[in-house]
Chain A
Amino acid sequence: AVVNRIDVTGNERVEDETVRAYMTVQPRRAYSDQDVDDSLRALYATGLFSDVAINKRGAVLVVSVTENALIYKVSFEGNDKYDDKMLLTQVKSKPRSVLSRAKVEADTQLLLELYRRKGRYRATVEPKIIKLAQNRVNLVFEINEGDKTGVARINFIGNHAFSDSRLRDVIKTRESGLLSFIRSTDSYDPSRLESDQEALREYYLRHGYADFRIISAVADLDRERNTFFVTFTVEEGEQYTIGEVNVQSSLASVGPEELASAVRTDPGDTYDSREVDKTLEDIVLEVSERGYAFAEVNPRGERDYENHTINITYHVDEGPRVYIERIDIRGNTRTRDYVIRRELDFAEGDAFNRVLINKAKRRLKNLGFFKDVAITTQRGSSADRVVIVVNVEEQATGELSFGAGYSSAEGVIGDVSITERNFLGRGQFVRAAVGGGESTRTYEFSFREPYFMGRRLSAGFDLYRRQYEETDYRSYEETTTGGNLTFGLPLNEEVQLNLTYSAYQRDFDVADELKDGCYMRKYNRGDPIPRSCDRNGDGKFDRNLDTDEASLAVKDAIGETFTSIIGYSLIYDTRDDIKRPRDGYYGKFQQEFAGVGGDVAFIRTTVEGRAYREIWADRGIVGMLKVKAGHIESLDDRLKLPDHFFLGGETIRGFGTKGIGPRDGMTRDALGGRYYIAGTAEATFPLPAVPSEIGLEGALFTDAGTLVDVDDSANFFRRVNVVGDNGDLRWAAGFGVIWHSPFGPIRADFAWPIVKSKWDETQVFRIGGGTQF
């Protein structure tokens, strides 16, 4: 058909010219029905019109349109949980844009969904349209939020191995209760229910329940009381221990025995899905090193129902031969490309291997720079090529934080610190902190580059100045100013070698100064008190100072000493979580050589070992064994007091600070020792009575240890009555309460010495905490 003119009717705001521009039909040229359809679709696509009709009248094509009204203003009423500004950004209908029935409907659903996510299931949203002159409207969303739909009760059906309270700890949804005003996790959120089920499955699979199944997770709403009852029905199945384990490989030159070393699931262990995953990872790495970069490893379990064992066979075979064509990094508006790219073990051109991708994802998440990391793949330019897209969602990595704490030794202490973990998007760590208390002043600055010279080798330095005034526990003032340089060389995923150089200037002084004829003893509370005076100026003091005098050993150390140390340490760390470890080991062997310049020379060797294990998973009890030992040997004439080891309440609870070991019988000053050994056995458990969301944990522990062999080779020691240097084992036991507060863990311990030496200083109660940095 052909028309020689196109007329447009019904338009007010949009010009005829604009409507014609969108149409594929042109005057005096043939057009088909298809052109009409295309034009209709194009006109609707502009969103300007609520209705379009095209019909031919003789030689004229008439396009009659009804324009969508124009929104003058969008407003919300009755909204409290979300402010207007935020809602305005969410809804599609914007001021000055065109009103469309579909958009308003979509906005209403969107608002309801937003309120469901805040746990407001009773919320209602009413869109109201108010006509204005010139085909304009006001759009008002009348919202009635209704009060919070809490979660009255979470219960589990079918769980025998783990108690309801233990499982409630595993999932994130909480019962509304005491702290519901500050927490949002106690309101019902369907998406969180999904992740709760995943958490339950993962928990059971880690504790041997290979057949675990969630039959249903139901949340039914009690309308009147506006609360939810969440019920998880589970089928635990049996707890399996591992029977035989073998590896079958279809790869020509790789025999199963060669892969046996990579298997972590040993016969007799309880089945643990994490160990299976780690085994998959190790086998793939082992096999890809032999050139089979495309290997795939699939575990298959045969269950033996009588004696509840599961035989695992790892099938290793050739996966699809796909290469990585490109790796595109997206979403990094702050972090630089290479900071992300260097965490990937694979590069462009390498073989595509799913296991290495999961490992990279884990590594990127551990950086702590990203809220979320998603690695997806897209088809490459040919069948055997794939493009990997690493999409990151960045989060704030800078913190300005205030810490406050109380420690029995230093009284109230507080600090202010600024930390940036991703400095200038280069992955560098920078921290500056100022701290103080009644008797302390600390200033610290530290910087660390995780990839020094482009290698996975961290290099960093710290500068600090710490002033400790004299207190009831310390009869001297000590100001240390110094810095250290550390290189961290990871040898493999678990073992790291650190090389350190540190140098510090220590200014050591005793507090008594002579003022108008009297020796003034400074105490940290109140101004100095005259202790012994020479009223008439004849040089004789009214009291013999010696009794309260600081120990000669302390006086011997008065003055400034500069110490310069090089050292190395080997660290082995397989703890599952640094803040609250439940499983894994930590070992450290360190040797330091002072005497590279400086005034003192010694060799100091320390060793530490810690083992964590979940001894009773059901009650959430975590056991920890710790052993620490140290030896220091002077290389020049003798070891001065401050360089000795000191042992006390911070390691063997139940004793005072520096409460153990050799002491000056007269002045009771601790003299320190050259050997020490200390051990701890502790069990921590969530307090049964207290709801777990408050974060209170109890602990039962026993500490033991000793400190011996003060260096008394100096001749002044002939006049010092050294006591307590007998090396018997001190032993104490007690209990503690830990509160994982929003400010960080705060811990109070009550411990009683069972075996102690007459000269030791004891202290039953000790508290410490504030933000741990």
Chain B
Amino acid sequence: CFGRTYTHGYVVTQETLDQVPMGSSRDQVLLTLGTPSAIGRSGGETFYYISQTREKMFEFMQPEVVDQRVLAVYFDDENRVREIGNYGLKDGRVFDFISRKTRTGGADYGFLTQVLRGAGNLTPAQGQLPQ
């Protein structure tokens, strides 16, 4: 009853996903989903939209990152949407919440694990530069 949850960055809902069906153009994606958090390369270009969910038990505490999601939009070489994955961590393994399948391979599997494993223990290395 005291806790508060905050969502930062990109918010994915079913309504928005319906607006970027397979084959929609790069500009269409930019128009509906906006500028991506990161752009990768696996086969064609890939847009990554990263969002963080943070929680705090009590008002005085610092919100902790509890979940991190990556919406990946894969383009083919004509810059048409080839596939969309909404990845999060499910019991420690990369899981696609759209196709309801556990991801095991794929070119950007490494990238996805880094981002999502970050959510598991908050960040891959919790690296902090000397303040």
Contact = CB atoms under 8 A, between A and B. Distances in A.
Direct chain A–B contact by Cβ atoms under 8 Å: yes
Interface string B67-94: 0000000000000000000000000000
Nearest to A488: B60
A294 B11 contact: yes
B13 A318 contact: yes
Interface in B1-49: 1-2, 4-9, 11-16, 31, 34-35
A456 to B, nearest CB: 5
Interface in B92-126: none
A757 B98 CA distance: 78
Contact of B34 (A382, A456, A457): A382
A350 B8 contact: yes
B129 interface: no
Contacts of B58: 489-492
Nearest to A251: B13
A292 interface: yes
Contacts of B13: 251-252, 291-292, 318
A252 B62 contact: no
B7 A455 contact: no
B2 A492 contact: yes
Contacts of B53: 291
Contacts of B6: 289, 345, 350
A491 B2 contact: yes
Given A289-B5, A384-B34, A495-B2, A490 B60 contact: yes
B59 A493 contact: yes
B14 A252 contact: yes
Contact of A293 (B11, B35, B60, B62): B11
Nearest to B14: A252
B60 A349 contact: no
Contacts of B61: 455
A645 interface: no
Contacts of B9: 349-350
A491 B59 contact: yes
B87 to A, nearest CB: 15
Contacts of B62: 454-455
Contact of B60 (A323, A351, A489): A489
Nearest to A286: B5
Contact of B7 (A288, A457, A491, A495): A288
A342 B11 CA distance: 23
Nearest to B37: A349
Most buried by A among B14, B34, B60, B62: B60
A455 B60 contact: yes
Contacts of B7: 288-289, 291, 293, 350-351
Contacts of A323: 34
B32 to A, nearest CB: 8
Interface in A343-367: 345, 347, 349-351
Interface string A332-349: 000000000000010101
B60 A456 contact: yes
B59 A456 contact: yes
A294 B35 CA distance: 17
A351 B59 contact: no
A495 B60 CA distance: 11
Contacts of A300: none
Interface string A659-697: 000000000000000000000000000000000000000
A321 interface: yes
Contacts of B34: 321, 323, 382, 384-385
Nearest to B35: A382
B55 to A, nearest CB: 9
Interface string A426-451: 00000000000000000000000000
Contact of B8 (A253, A347, A382): A347
Nearest to A381: B35
A251 B16 CA distance: 12
Nearest to A346: B6
Interface residues of A, number: 32
A377 B53 CA distance: 25
Interface in A304-351: 318, 321, 323, 345, 347, 349-351
A187 B16 CA distance: 57
A382 B13 CA distance: 21
A477 to B, nearest CB: 42
Interface string A371-399: 00000000000111100000000000000
A252 B1 CA distance: 24
B7 to A, nearest CB: 5
Contacts of B15: 252, 318
Contacts of A289: 4-7
Nearest to B9: A349
A369 B13 CA distance: 40
A168 B75 CA distance: 68
B3 to A, nearest CB: 9
Interface string A473-502: 000000000000000011111010000000
Contacts of A251: 13
Contacts of A489: 58-60
Interface in A275-309: 285, 288-289, 291-294
A94 to B, nearest CB: 49
Contacts of A293: 7, 11
A92 to B, nearest CB: 46
Contacts of A252: 13-15
A364 B44 CA distance: 48
Contacts of A349: 8-9
A689 B65 CA distance: 61
B48 to A, nearest CB: 15
Contacts of A253: 14
A514 B106 CA distance: 97
Contact of A491 (B14, B31, B60): B60
Most buried by B among A293, A318, A347, A489: A293
Nearest to A290: B5
Most buried by B among A285, A291, A385, A457: A291
Contacts of A318: 13, 15
A457 B11 contact: no
Nearest to B5: A289
Contacts of A495: 2
Contacts of B8: 347, 349-350
Contacts of A285: 4
B52 to A, nearest CB: 9
A383 B31 CA distance: 8
A292 B11 contact: yes
Interface string A50-90: 00000000000000000000000000000000000000000
A325 to B, nearest CB: 10
Most buried by A among B1, B11, B31, B61: B11
A7 B58 CA distance: 79
Contacts of B12: 291
A291 to B, nearest CB: 6
A351 B34 CA distance: 12
Given A384-B34, A491-B58, A491-B59, A351 B4 contact: no
18 contacts: A252-B14, A289-B6, A293-B7, A293-B11, A294-B11, A321-B16, A323-B34, A345-B6, A347-B8, A350-B7, A350-B8, A383-B31, A489-B58, A489-B60, A490-B58, A490-B59, A490-B60, A492-B59
Give me the 10 closest cross-chain CB pairs, A-B, nearest first: A289-B5, A490-B59, A457-B60, A489-B60, A491-B58, A384-B34, A492-B2, A293-B11, A491-B2, A456-B60
Given A291-B53, A491-B59, A491-B60, 6 more contacts: A321-B34, A350-B7, A350-B8, A351-B11, A490-B60, A493-B59
